[in-house]
Amino acid sequence: MNPTRNEDGAGGHTTPDQPKKPNMLGLLIAGLIITFIFNMVAGSLAAGNKPQLEYGQFIQLVESGLVRQVQIDDQQIAFTLKEEIREGGEGGEGGMDQRTLREILRLPAGAEGPAERRLLSSQVYYTGLLEDPALTERLLKNSVAFSKPIIQPNPIRDFISGWIFPLLIFYGIYFFIMRKFSNMGGMGGMMNLGKSRAKFYGMEKNTGVSFSDVAGQDEAKESLVELVDFLHNPDKYRQIGARQPKGALLVGPPGTGKTLLAKAVAGEAKVPFFSLSGSEFVEMFVGVGASRVRDLFAEAAKHAPCIVFIDEIDAIGKSRDNQLGGNDEREQTLNQLLSEMDGFDSSKGILVLAATNRPEILDKALLRPGRFDRRIIVEKPDLPGRKAILAVHAGKIPLDSDVDLGEIGRSTSGATGADLANMVNEAALRAVRMGRSKVIQEDLMEAVETVAAGKEKKDRVLSPREKRMVAFHEVGHALVSALQKDAQPVRKITIVPRTMGALGYTMQAPEEERYLMTRSELLTQICTLMAGRAAEELEFGEASTGAANDIERATRLARNMVTQYGMSEKFGMMGLESLTGQYLDGRSVFTASDASNAAVDVEISRIINECHDRATELLRANREKLVSLAEYLYAQETINGAQFMEKLAS
């Protein structure tokens, strides 16, 4: 890309990469070769389809009275036969027997029916034109119709149809394919296959994002503010001998604002900003990605100081130490990136930012000092961070005076910045649906539930028995939680079905942000999860399928206690699993023996069964409260935490 420059040196409007003009001489030669081959093949096919006879055989057929019509050209004679060629007795017409006729016309034995005669009479045969003054007399004598072609050969017409027309077809197909590649590639098609796809933001038309637009990531912003200051005041750092970091790697879960932070750095620094995804480097052709890396850094050098941002760098930065074999294109691209980061001078003000949520798979050479000198962790926000993020997004919409963003922040533990932005937007949409000009607290709370569990399913009608079973199940969760010391307070209970599959749920939220969990608190959580199944068994004498998600969550907690947290009486402080994909699904990999794995299953079952027994004891001891609360929820369908505690205390 080649941005225009104003007189003061600032970058002006940008122009996309123009496709290189094709080499017309090369295209002309290629077109002529293809046309020549086309004519040769077409001529060979046409000649192969023409039944050729010797001139003497043609005269023999004429004198035998078998020829119906003749057309004499400048180079050849075309003729057709009469349909009555099979009639005339043993000797045929004019003394030619059937065997001789078959040999001349190369007919298979037995081709004597009416259909075969019609086919032969429609077939055109060819022979060469010789000097034969008696030919006309022979034709007249045997009553053969003959003539010259009505359309005489035209060299100009033949040249146009044989050469010009195929060339035009060739060029039409060529430019059609080029335009398709251009539309798909967005950068000049195949002519610019090795060009960078970086988006360029000039000094005046920048990203439009500043650090004030990013909330809940104070530590990450602190690390990036220093990089911005280095771009603005490089001499201050050079005097003390400090050098600018060449690169910074933004690491964190999806939706935490890594790309937003990169744009904020560019917006604050007011320097050119190149932005593209790692997957845009890799193409089908080996060497294209490396070419794009070279082009990207060449453009960056022209516009230094500037920022280069590579999102999802794991697409090209995967470790090359792969026992299953490598990818030549990706490895060449990575090698070129490593070489370019070694080659450019950071004192010129080129800063490389990259983002990933899979740092564990990146190549070690990419992470060493001198390439990506800094790793900036962008984690899910804590409670103050969630409040700040909600304030940023809520500042763009009108809020009612009753809105308490602190309560929303406490109800959204574990949410990312993208989740919170989605919740605020859902609240605004709900306010419009309800005909309000401002967003109220109810809109925000409903938006939290919509994002977490889906919308209410008004068309799903439960039977009275199912509805009572769901009511007892949810009250079982809430009651056991309220009866235990280390449990989280209940904020809402509902038996209204949701689109994500829940027939009801109990919402709990901690009173304060927690970063550590004790063994007793984890057992309390498992006991609360098992309380729904225990309530069903107490009231109805059997279990339902409604506890599937509770069992899954309880099993995960118990397994983590045994294999990762060292909270098992059997295994003690022994790590049996390692965590992979920390910022994605957090998948665990078992690292012990198969015998230990079987013993772990037994230990998990023991913990869950003990918690289930404790939940059953608590509910049996408070059976009256369980029944009264369940009947109250059955009638109301939804109650909040205050109503639940008031009914429990009465």
As annotated, the active-site residues are: 474
CA 115 to chain centre: 61
SS3 of residue 475 by DSSP: helix
DSSP state of 487: P
CA separation for the pair 153, 466 (Å, rounded): 91
- Residue in 148, 126, 33, 32 with CA at minimum distance from that of residue 79: 126
The torsion angle over the Cα atoms of residues 544, 530, 552 and 522, rounded to 10 degrees, is: 170
Residues 6+ apart with CB under 8 A from 341: 246, 247, 352, 370, 371
DSSP string, 38-49: HHHHHHHHHHHH
The residue written with tokens 């990531």 in the block is 217
Position 232, amino acid: H
Q: Measured between alpha carbons, how far is 600 from 588 in angstroms, rounded to an integer? A: 14
User: How far, rounded to the nearest angstrom, does the alpha carbon of residue 147 sit from its chain's CA centroid?
Assistant: 69
Which residues on neighbouring strands pair with residue 493, listed in sequence order? 506, 639
Distance of CA 282 to the CA centre of its chain: 14
d(CA 8, CA 349): 19
How far apart (Å, rounded) are the C-alpha atoms in residues 142 and 41?
A: 38
Burial label, 86 (beta-carbon count in 10 A; 0-12, 13-18, 19+):
middle
State the DSSP string of 208-230. Answer: ---GGG--S-HHHHHHHHHHHHH
What letter does residue 456 receive in the DSSP assignment? B
What gap in Å lies between CA 472 and CA 480, rounded to an integer? 12
The residues near 281 (Cβ < 8 Å, ≥ 6 apart) are 289, 292, 293, 315, 316, 333
Q: Token pair 């639940």 is at which residue?
A: 644
Distance between CA 541 and CA 606 in Å, rounded?
A: 22
- From start to end of 220-333, where are the E strands? 247-251, 273-277, 306-311
Pairwise CA distance, residues 37 & 39, whole Å: 5
Q: How many helices (H) and strands (E) does the chain have?
A: 24, 15
**What tokens were used for 124?**
């055109």
